[in-house]
């Protein structure tokens, strides 16, 4: 299992992501955004979190034009598995690989804390290790995590079971930290090979750090390859 992790100027979660996947037994490679191709043995491509290009203009807006993104698009269109975490999710929506957009949090504050999430649809390789309705405890750390999609887009997400996770309390009741439509924390594309979420499963790999619920989430990818 080979996990390729993208690195833009301003990315800051690439080493956490590398550590998390290596802990699960994967081999990893960090790829600089100026590269025009990605390793041919890649089983999963991760767009890691951070603040690519300082979030200038909009979060993820400038990263989508990095040379490597053409290769990422081609990889995704050929059915390759892509995961965007936090800023990676923003990059994937800006690139059009995932539907919707991420706006400034409703409360206007940067939010950094553990938050509960409910599994909405496990009918995909990412969350197949979990059951629908399961509640996991995963850190969030974002300023622009307010997921927006229009009503027609939302209906499509629901019909195709593309909503992966929603923000809840520990009991699984809706608790929306940032104003996201339907409290959405993560979605996938219609073909279910491109995944994006604002929370950081790679930061929830050790009980001593507050939660290891991220393991079950990332483990899904390990099994599928």
Partner 1 sequence: MITAIVNVSLKAGVLDSQGKAVHHALDSLHFNGVSDVRVGKQIVLKLDTDDKAQAMKDVEKMCEEILANTVIEDYKIELI
Q: Give 98-161 as a DSSP string.
A: SSSEEEPPTT-S-EEEEEEEEE----STTTTTS-TT-EEEEEEEESS-EEE--HHHHHHHHHTT
161 near partner 1, judged by CB under 8 A: no
Q: Please, what is the minimum distance in Å from the beta carbon of residue 166 to partner 1?
A: 18
86 is catalytic: yes
Residue ranges of E strands in the chain: 2-7, 27-32, 44-47, 81-85, 101-103, 111-119, 135-142, 146-148, 163-168, 184-188, 194-197
Q: Please, what is the minimum distance in Å from the beta carbon of residue 104 to partner 1?
A: 6
**Three-state DSSP state, 186:** strand
- Pick the piece of the chain touching partner 1 (CB under 8 A) from 23-31, 39-47, 97-105, 187-195: 97-105
188 is catalytic: no
101 near partner 1, judged by CB under 8 A: yes
- Pick the piece of the chain touching partner 1 (CB under 8 A) from 17-25, 42-50, 95-103, 115-123: 95-103
Closest CA to 136 of 176, 167, 112: 167
Applying CB under 8 A, among 24, 30, 61, 111 the residue interacting with partner 1 is 61
Applying CB under 8 A, among 4, 11, 93, 95 the residue interacting with partner 1 is 93
Catalytically annotated residue among 13, 14, 33, 86: 86
**Three-state DSSP state, 60:** coil
Binders of partner 1 among residues 168 to 197 (CB under 8 A) are 179
Alpha-carbon distance 29 to 39, whole Å?
8
Binders of partner 1 among residues 41 to 60 (CB under 8 A) are 57-58
121 near partner 1, judged by CB under 8 A: no
- What is the DSSP pairing of strand 163-168 with strand 184-188? antiparallel
| Site for partner 1, rule CB under 8 A | 57-58, 61-62, 65, 93-94, 100-101, 103-108, 146, 148-150, 179
Catalogue the active-site residues.
86, 200, 202
């Amino acid at each position: 299992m080979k996990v390729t992790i993208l690195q833009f100027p301003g990315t800051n979660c690439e080493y956490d992501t590398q550590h998390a996947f290596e802990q699960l037994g994967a081999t990893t490679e960090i790829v600089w955004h100026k590269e025009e191709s990605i390793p041919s043995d890649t089983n999963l491509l991760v767009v890691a979190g951070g603040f690519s290009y300082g979030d200038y203009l909009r979060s993820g807006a400038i990263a989508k034009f990095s040379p490597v993104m053409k290769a990422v698009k081609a990889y995704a269109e050929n059915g390759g598995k892509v995961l965007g975490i936090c800023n990676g999710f923003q990059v994937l929506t800006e690139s059009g690989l995932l539907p919707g957009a991420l706006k400034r949090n409703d409360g206007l504050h940067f939010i950094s804390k553990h938050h509960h999430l409910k599994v909405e649809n496990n009918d995909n390789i990412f969350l197949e290790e979990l059951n629908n309705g399961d509640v996991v405890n995963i850190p969030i750390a974002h300023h622009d995590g307010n997921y927006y999609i229009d009503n027609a887009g939302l209906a499509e997400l629901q019909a195709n079971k593309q909503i992966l996770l929603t923000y809840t309390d520990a009991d699984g009741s809706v608790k929306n930290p940032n104003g996201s439509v339907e409290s959405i924390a993560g979605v996938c594309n219609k073909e279910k090979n491109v995944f994006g979420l604002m929370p950081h499963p790679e930061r929830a790999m050790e009980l001593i750090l507050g939660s290891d619920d991220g393991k079950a989430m990332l483990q899904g990818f390990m099994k599928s390859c």
